[in-house]
Copies of this chain bind each other. A is one copy, B any other.
Amino acid sequence: MRGVVMYAPGDVRVEERPDPRIEEPTDAIIRLTATCICGSDLWPYRGAEPVDHAPMGHEYVGVVEQIGPEVRTLKVGDFVVGSFWSSDNTCEICRDGYQAYCVHRTLMGLIGTQAEKARIPLADGTLVATPGMPEPDLIPSFLAASDVLGTGWFAAVAAEAGPGKTVAVVGDGAVGLCGVLAARELGAERIIAFSRHADRQALAREFGATDIVTERGEAGAARIKELTGGLGAHSVIEAVGTQEAMMQAIASTRPGGHVGFVGVSHDVAIPGDVLFGAGIHLHGGPAPVRRFLPELVRLIWDRAIDPGKVFDLVLPLDEAAEGYRAMDERRATKVMLSL
């Protein structure tokens, strides 16, 4: 089968890779309908993480082609959405809703889903089937649920977005935009998106943002305070992963408020005295997307939400290298690769 391999930073190729096969009785093999490039794939692409001939990709939707003898809830032909961590969904950590930390988890990025097929470990605990074969126009939204929507949703839940709350969102990439959408769905009263890009501002507004702030860092936090009677937002989503973004998020939050952070941390160190003085709640990490997938699949199937709009460039898998370039150069927010 064909699949994406990152030879080195900046060097992405689509080449022949071995077909996956059932290795464990709980595995499923899926034929991908679509996959995509993640903001986190740009870290190695830009040399900020080591990479050497790595299969890429951890987001996926597709059709079940084969199942192991112990797979119970799925059948060949099902259209499925899965998370970027495989999980048994039965261990104590999964039952608490933290499937990204399942005691039997596997990182799907090691398998590499930017490919024609993929082996999904712990298929019952990882995949969620849609009620039927989706209309083609729903594919991007289901694909978004696999990571960026699930991650933005987790961030909004971690930030305790909800009725009566003012939510600020640091980061106007696909995850941040999905965080805006999630905050709206969770009933937030006011949603402030930090953004300097007209196209992303427009999508943020479409997803539910009530205010746009263009300042960053301390000035950005000061603007949030101005907009909230000097107190700060109740809930802040951090969807970048840099020191500036984390400090901006903390400084934008009122005492007793909540920061939900999902940007993959790079060279971030949170000063203890700042955190002690801030009096906020801080929660985040890799999103337990599987917790939210049943609800997200239902909302998308019912056409209640349209997170697929975060994909502003669709390319065939064979043009993955152009997709990476487009995201790296910020010509695209989020690139879908079709098969």
Please list the residues of chain A having a beta carbon within 8 angstroms of any beta carbon in chain B: 92-93, 96-98, 100-101, 103, 229-231, 241, 243, 246, 254-256, 261, 264-273, 275-286
Chain B nearest CB from A92 CB (Å) reads 6
Chain B nearest CB from A209 CB (Å) reads 23
Q: Are A276 and B284 in contact (CB under 8 A)?
A: yes
Cα distance A273–B246 when bound, in Å?
12
Q: Are B272 and A93 in contact (CB under 8 A)?
A: no
Cα distance A180–B15 when bound, in Å?
59
Cα distance A98–B280 when bound, in Å?
10
Of all chain B residues, the one with the shortest Cβ separation from A263 is B276
Chain B residues lying within 8 Å of A264, measured Cβ to Cβ, are: 276
Cα distance A255–B105 when bound, in Å?
13
Chain B residues lying within 8 Å of A276, measured Cβ to Cβ, are: 261, 264-265, 284-286
Chain B residues lying within 8 Å of A282, measured Cβ to Cβ, are: 275, 281-283
Chain B residues lying within 8 Å of A92, measured Cβ to Cβ, are: 229, 231
Cα distance A93–B231 when bound, in Å?
8
**Most chain B CB within a 10 A radius of its CB, from A103, A272, A285:** A272
Cα distance A276–B43 when bound, in Å?
16
Cα distance A229–B91 when bound, in Å?
12
Chain B residues lying within 8 Å of A270, measured Cβ to Cβ, are: 269-270, 272, 275
Residue from the list B101, B267, B273, B277 in contact with A256, Cβ < 8 A: B101
Chain B residues lying within 8 Å of A243, measured Cβ to Cβ, are: 272
**Most chain B CB within a 10 A radius of its CB, from A255, A282, A286:** A255
